[in-house]
A and B are shown apart, each in its own frame.
Chain A
Amino acid sequence: MSALAALIRRDIRIALRVGGGALIGVLFFLTVTVLMPFAVGPDLALLSRLGPAILWLGALLASLLTLDRLFTADHEDGSLDLIAMSRTPLELACAAKALAHWIAAGLPLIVATPVLGLLLNLDGTATLAVAATLLAGTPALTFTGMIGAALAVTLHRGGLLLAVLVLPLSIPVLIFGVAASQAAISGPLPFGTPFSILCALSLASLVIGPFAAAASLRHGLD
């Protein structure tokens, strides 16, 4: 247990320090959101209608962008091999790494959401709904994305391959995340239904992600 806590602390510390690049995700999120009004026009009514979708898409792309860092640095300096050889089960170590990655790269996105909501003319309820759905949904993005990150690191191929593999898997999260936000803003569905499914997706990915990532690391590292 203490080994896992140490791993989480170490990963968060590395991510937040110089060269960690966790905060680049937030900057990317901000930039994508700022780009949207240039594409669809500065019509405030339209922007507030599209707002949840824009924020969700931005968060999805931002979390995809930082996923590359989940295993690459550890693989380059050899610490991933040490983690794989240690007595802690690799599945738990993967889960701990993904949790640390989510804290360092996912939480800042949610903290930034209210500010970006102002830019997109979202009112208080809408901003709160988007932030809540992101809080429930981004763990699913990180934990399913981890499978792609593990595959990419064992193949020594990152970047585009990772995106091609991970994006189709994140479609359900996107659907239910946006559906729950829209339900809270305009109805007619109750907020609870899509939101509980979103939570269920996160919980399921919490189970599947570490096992699949550990399997691909174990088969791929040599």
Chain B
Amino acid sequence: MKLTETLTDLANPTRFLALTARILPWLAAATAILLAIGLYQSAVAPDDYQQGATVKIMFVHVPNAWLSMFVWSVMSVAALGTLVWRHPLADVAAKAAAPIGAAFTFLALVTGSLWGRPMWGTYWEWDARLTSVLILFLMYLGLIALWRAVEDPSRAARAAAVLTLVGAINIPIIKFSVDWWNTLHQPASVLRMGGSTLDKAFLWPLLVMAIAFSLLFITLHLAAMRNEILRRRVRSLQMMQASRVSFTTEAGAGPREAGASKEIGAA
């Protein structure tokens, strides 16, 4: 009950802007501190007996990979918000999250590829995990292309919401089919039945980095949502201005005369 009330409260963009203006500096500070701790911890973490110093790529790679999937889940919830509850900010949230999610996915691919070169001897391998993340990246790009192809924001929002939900159903299917197709990547080792197989020396920095990256996402997401709201306000102000100009030109004298009379008035 409390949660729905808060959500309804936030439906007012002005209230949302005021709230995020207060929260954002704290979030940004927390992100910076945690990121600094996490980076320090990963820098002093011992080398792996087999992989050497390259194991440190993991501390950046794994949080990015987690977030690439987490952002799509956030967008799916936002898509439900658009289609079912018609929450006015849901569409803003989904639209702001897509480029951030695409960036995390891209970073996961790049860091994974850099890690793969010394470990597997190749930058790219048509392996199940890599391929399914690449497809996830393509789906992010398709979604962004959909937003960019349509001028009317509300129409684009509903279309993108349908596509996000279809993607949310399809991504597990794609993942599982690609797994079946070809696999080389190691299976999950942190979150699994029977506890983590990762040593504590690696687990702690990884967890700190994961939390820091999640906070980074929340910070960037809220900032991007603020930008999107402001961008829409600018757009509607511009449209009001344009309609006012066309109204005066239609109703009164021609534009040149109107401008001339204004100049006279100014003089």
Determine whether A212 belongs to the interface, using a CB cutoff of 8 Å to chain B. Answer: yes
Distance of A208 Cα from B169 Cα, bound (Å): 9
Q: Which of B50-58, B152-160, B215-223 contacts A (4 or more CB under 8 A)?
A: B152-160
Interface flags, B127-146, vs A, CB<8A=1, else 0? 00000000100110110011
Determine whether B34 belongs to the interface, using a CB cutoff of 8 Å to chain A. Answer: no
The number of residues on chain B lying at the interface, defined by a beta carbon within 8 Å of a beta carbon of chain A, is: 27
Determine whether A85 belongs to the interface, using a CB cutoff of 8 Å to chain B. Answer: no
> A165 is contacted by which of B146, B165, B178, B180 (Cβ under 8 Å)?
B146
Residues on B with C-beta less than 8 A from A172 are 170, 173-174, 177
Determine whether A220 belongs to the interface, using a CB cutoff of 8 Å to chain B. Answer: yes
Determine whether A71 belongs to the interface, using a CB cutoff of 8 Å to chain B. Answer: no
Taking a contact as CB atoms under 8 Å apart, the answer to whether B166 and A208 are in contact is yes
Taking a contact as CB atoms under 8 Å apart, the answer to whether B155 and A154 are in contact is yes
Contacting A at CB under 8 A, from B170-218, are 170, 173-174, 177-178, 180-181
* B137 (CB) vs chain A CBs: closest residue: A168
Shortest distance in angstroms between B146's beta carbon and chain A's nearest beta carbon? 7
Determine whether A171 belongs to the interface, using a CB cutoff of 8 Å to chain B. Answer: yes
Shortest distance in angstroms between B87's beta carbon and chain A's nearest beta carbon? 15
Distance of A197 Cα from B155 Cα, bound (Å): 35
Q: Is the interface of B mostly helix, strand, loop or mixed?
A: helix
Q: Interface residue tally of chain A, by bracket?
A: 20 to 34
Residues on A with C-beta less than 8 A from B110 are none
> A164 is contacted by which of B145, B150, B158, B177 (Cβ under 8 Å)?
B145
Distance of A171 Cα from B178 Cα, bound (Å): 9
Taking a contact as CB atoms under 8 Å apart, the answer to whether B158 and A216 are in contact is yes
Taking a contact as CB atoms under 8 Å apart, the answer to whether A161 and B174 are in contact is no
Taking a contact as CB atoms under 8 Å apart, the answer to whether A168 and B181 are in contact is no
Determine whether B27 belongs to the interface, using a CB cutoff of 8 Å to chain A. Answer: no
Taking a contact as CB atoms under 8 Å apart, the answer to whether A220 and B158 are in contact is yes
Distance of A171 Cα from B166 Cα, bound (Å): 14
Interface flags, A162-185, vs B, CB<8A=1, else 0? 001100110110011001000000
Given pairs A154-B155, A219-B158, 18 additional interface contacts (CB within 8 A)? A151-B159, A155-B149, A155-B155, A157-B149, A157-B150, A161-B146, A164-B142, A164-B145, A169-B167, A171-B177, A172-B170, A197-B177, A208-B166, A215-B83, A219-B159, A219-B162, A220-B155, A220-B158
Q: Which residues of A contact B (CB under 8 A)?
A: 144, 147, 151, 154-155, 157, 161, 164-165, 168-169, 171-172, 175-176, 179, 197, 201, 204, 208, 212, 215-216, 219-220
Q: Which residues of B contact A (CB under 8 A)?
A: 83, 135, 138-139, 141-142, 145-146, 149-150, 155-156, 158-159, 162-163, 165-167, 169-170, 173-174, 177-178, 180-181
